[in-house]
């Protein structure tokens, strides 16, 4: 279950599945990335300082997101990754952050292995199955059993608002009988990106999943929406900090 919480006076969105972890989604109230909203740059800088100070870390690890399917394992001496849409870390006290305005944010965390990941899946990332590939990497390179992974699918544009043309539809929907994945109205398709990513989690063997029902486009008073704001928008973020102490050992 998702619920709004308070991070030192700033509104954030958490899940009861990871309530004891520093894993959450930010809102307009806690902007960490101004993007092309130059007027929010100073606020974002102040908020990043607050985040680092309160979580007691020196750096925020992040990436240049390009809607691709490159997944990086965070190295201790590198804080920024080019051409990257998913980050994984098992290094205690590592703080990772990726940014969104309508795309689907996914947080993965194995409490048993004290390893976390953040994924950015817009329609291109969803079509290239970056989420499924990230779980495969956790399995193959970190020896993590998907049954031990908790997954949070955060706020993103919903089926109510994600209207696409036929070309995008065909890249996302393999079987037109999958009527729970989309709605067709006249010649437009309304696609459920969260459900597509949920299905990738199920295919990868993850069972412990919380999906946020919020649509960023319908709720652009709380989240940033690229579509609603015609591209002139800042970003909300997904934040994961790897715990210092592994409580599950």
Which residues of this protein are in contact with Zn ion, per CB under 5 A?
A: 158, 160-161, 215, 217-218
Dihedral sign, Cα of residue 206, residue 208, residue 213, residue 215: negative
Cβ distance to Zn ion smaller for residue 11 or 227: 227
Cβ distance to Zn ion smaller for residue 146 or 155: 155
Tell the smallest beta-carbon distance from residue 152 to Zn ion (Å).
Answer: 19
Query: Rounded CA gap, 217 and 155, in Å?
Result: 10
Query: Rounded CA gap, 50 and 132, in Å?
Result: 33
Residue matched to tokens 């955060």:
154
Query: Rounded CA gap, 199 and 28, in Å?
Result: 29
Tell the smallest beta-carbon distance from residue 196 to Zn ion (Å).
Answer: 16
Cβ distance to Zn ion smaller for residue 191 or 215: 215
Tell the smallest beta-carbon distance from residue 160 to Zn ion (Å).
Answer: 3
Cβ distance to Zn ion smaller for residue 236 or 243: 236
**Contacts with 176 (C-beta within 8 Å, 6 or more apart), sequence order:** none
Tell the smallest beta-carbon distance from residue 222 to Zn ion (Å).
Answer: 12
Cβ distance to Zn ion smaller for residue 94 or 220: 220
Tell the smallest beta-carbon distance from residue 190 to Zn ion (Å).
Answer: 9
Q: How many residues does the chain have?
A: 249
Could you tell me the CA-to-CA distances from 210 to 2, 15, 87, 101 in Å, in that order?
A: 8, 7, 20, 20
Tell the smallest beta-carbon distance from residue 72 to Zn ion (Å).
Answer: 31
Sheet containing 163-164: which strands, arranged edge to edge? 163-164, 188-191, 182-185
Cβ distance to Zn ion smaller for residue 194 or 235: 194
Tell the smallest beta-carbon distance from residue 218 to Zn ion (Å).
Answer: 3
Report whether 154 contacts 12 (CB < 8 A).
Answer: no
Cβ distance to Zn ion smaller for residue 142 or 214: 214
CA-closest candidate to residue 69, choices 127, 146, 139? 127
Residue matched to tokens 């690229």:
226
């Amino acid at each position: 279950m998702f619920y709004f919480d308070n991070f030192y006076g700033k509104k954030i969105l958490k899940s009861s599945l990871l309530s004891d972890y520093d894993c959450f989604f930010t809102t307009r109230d806690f902007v960490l990335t101004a993007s092309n909203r130059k007027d929010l740059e100073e606020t974002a800088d102040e908020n990043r300082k607050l985040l680092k100070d309160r979580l007691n870390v020196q750096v925020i690890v992040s990436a240049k997101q390009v809607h691709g399917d490159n997944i990086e394992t965070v190295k201790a001496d590198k804080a920024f990754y080019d051409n990257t849409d998913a980050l994984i870390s098992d290094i205690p006290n590592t703080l990772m952050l990726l940014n969104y305005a309508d795309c689907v944010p996914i947080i993965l965390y194995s409490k048993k292995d004290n390893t976390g990941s953040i994924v950015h899946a817009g329609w291109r990332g969803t079509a290239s199955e970056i989420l499924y590939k990230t779980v495969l990497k956790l399995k193959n390179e970190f020896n993590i059993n998907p049954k031990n992974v908790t997954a949070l699918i955060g706020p993103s544009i919903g089926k109510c608002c994600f209207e696409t043309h036929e070309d995008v539809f065909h890249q996302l929907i393999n079987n037109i009988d999958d009527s729970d994945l989309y709605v067709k109205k006249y010649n437009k398709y309304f696609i459920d990106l969260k459900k597509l990513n949920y299905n990738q989690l199920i295919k990868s063997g993850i069972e412990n999943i919380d999906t946020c029902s919020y649509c960023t486009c319908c709720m652009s008073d709380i989240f940033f929406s690229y579509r609603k704001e015609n591209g002139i928008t800042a970003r909300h973020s997904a934040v994961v900090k790897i715990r210092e102490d592994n409580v599950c050992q």
